[in-house]
């Protein structure tokens, strides 16, 4: 996982663009959109990220996998408050080379069909938590292969999800391009990222008239963590600059982009 995020970081990925003519078409006249996304259903997100988002008046997108039964009431409350819950599969099957894992739950042990079945079943859990019929999706570890076969076009055809976040693309794919909802890039950050560095990514979206999709895991805890001060510093800047960026759950951003081609 860390290696994959380092690749994304090095390429400067995570921002998709719109044409110059569309650059001011985000809600409230903002120059760009920002989506704050959080993976893996971590305790630090419930303890730290969601309270910080609520205090700033923002809603995030939380991609759930390996959900703990004891946390379901808190995830249900988060959804009721307007946070997006999205699909990250049940068992978070990554390529075996990423980190040690149960061999039954690595990407190589799946087929595209079995992975789509798992996504379908995770949708059932999500609907039971948030009561919604539509859910987005993030690829585990940013990998879109099951058994060595890319499954994103099968997933598109299945209609199981509304978008797929986390595909590593090239800078050329992002330059002035319209968003493909099945290839939404996101940018991860190292553990020692500063608030200023996070803000710079948001500023780059405002300058380019596109979308910055932040990819977080732990917030003030767990792993691949951003510190609480850095996270709060980013939120404070976003709150102070509503004419620069419109902050919304990723589902809202992709819906807006689709409705304003």
Helix, strand, coil shares, percent, the chain, to 5: 45, 15, 40
Share of the chain above pLDDT 90, in %: 80
pLDDT at 167: 63
User: Which among 123, 125, 121 has a CA at the least distance from the CA of 136?
Assistant: 123
pLDDT above 60 (res 21) = no
Q: In this predicted structure, which of 1-15, 27-41, 91-105 has the lowest mean pLDDT?
A: 1-15
pLDDT at 5: 32
Q: Is 114 exposed, middle or buried (0-12, 13-18, 19+ CB in 10 A)?
A: middle
What does the alpha-carbon distance between residue 215 and residue 199 come to, in Å, rounded to a whole number? 14
Structural domain for 152, as ranges: 2-259
Please compute, for residue 14, the number of CA atoms within 13 A of its CA located in the half-sphere on the CB side: 29
Task: Identify each DSSP E strand in 40-93 by its residue range.
Answer: 61-64, 84-87
pLDDT above 60 (res 8) = no
Angle at the Cα of 71 (from 67 to 76), degrees rounded to 5? 95
Q: What does the pLDDT look like over 115-125, one tens digit per residue?
A: 999 999 999 99
**CA separation, residue 100 to residues 105, 119, 133, 168, 191 (Å):** 10, 22, 34, 22, 20
pLDDT above 50 (res 176) = no
Q: The domain that contains 161 carries what CATH number? A: 3.20.20.370
Q: How many domains does the chain have?
A: 1
- According to DSSP, the β-strands at 61-64 and 84-87 are parallel
pLDDT above 60 (res 80) = yes
Residue in the structure block whose two tokens are 């044409």: 19
pLDDT above 90 (res 168) = no
Q: Which residues pair with 38 in a beta bridge?
A: 62, 216
* Mean pLDDT value across residues 215-220: 97
Q: Which two tokens stand for residue 101?
A: 């894992």
pTM: 0.90
Identify the H or E element spanning 129.
Answer: helix 112-130
Q: What does the pLDDT look like over 226-236, one tens digit per residue?
A: 999 999 999 99
* Mean pLDDT value across residues 110-135: 98
Confidence of residue 171 (pLDDT cuts 50, 70, 90): very low
Q: Which residues pair with 87 in a beta bridge?
A: 64, 137
Share of the chain above pLDDT 70, in %: 86
pLDDT above 60 (res 173) = no
């Amino acid at each position: 996982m860390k290696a994959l995020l380092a690749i994304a970081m090095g390429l400067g990925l995570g921002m998709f663009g719109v044409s110059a003519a569309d650059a001011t078409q985000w809600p409230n006249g903002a120059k760009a959109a920002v989506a704050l996304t959080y993976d893996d259903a971590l305790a630090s997100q419930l303890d730290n990220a969601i309270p910080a988002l609520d205090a700033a008046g923002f809603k995030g997108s939380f991609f759930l996998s390996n959900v703990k039964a004891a946390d379901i009431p808190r995830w249900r409350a988060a959804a009721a408050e307007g946070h997006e819950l999205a699909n990250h599969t049940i068992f978070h099957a990554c390529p075996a080379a990423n980190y040690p894992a149960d061999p039954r739950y690595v990407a190589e042990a799946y087929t595209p069909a079995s992975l789509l079945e798992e996504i379908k079943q995770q949708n059932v859990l999500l609907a039971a938590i948030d009561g919604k019929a539509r859910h987005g999706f993030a690829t585990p570890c940013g990998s879109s292969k099951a058994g060595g076969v890319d499954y994103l076009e099968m997933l598109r055809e299945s209609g199981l999800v509304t978008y797929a976040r986390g595909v590593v693309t090239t800078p050329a794919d992002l330059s002035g391009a319209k968003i493909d909802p099945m290839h939404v890039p996101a940018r991860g950050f190292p553990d020692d990222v500063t608030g200023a560095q996070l803000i710079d990514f948001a500023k780059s979206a405002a300058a380019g008239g596109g979308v910055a999709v932040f990819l977080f895991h732990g917030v003030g805890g767990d792993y691949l963590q951003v510190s609480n001060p850095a996270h709060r510093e980013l939120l404070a800047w976003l709150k102070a600059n509503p004419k620069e960026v419109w902050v919304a759950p990723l589902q809202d951003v992709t819906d807006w982009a689709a409705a304003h081609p």
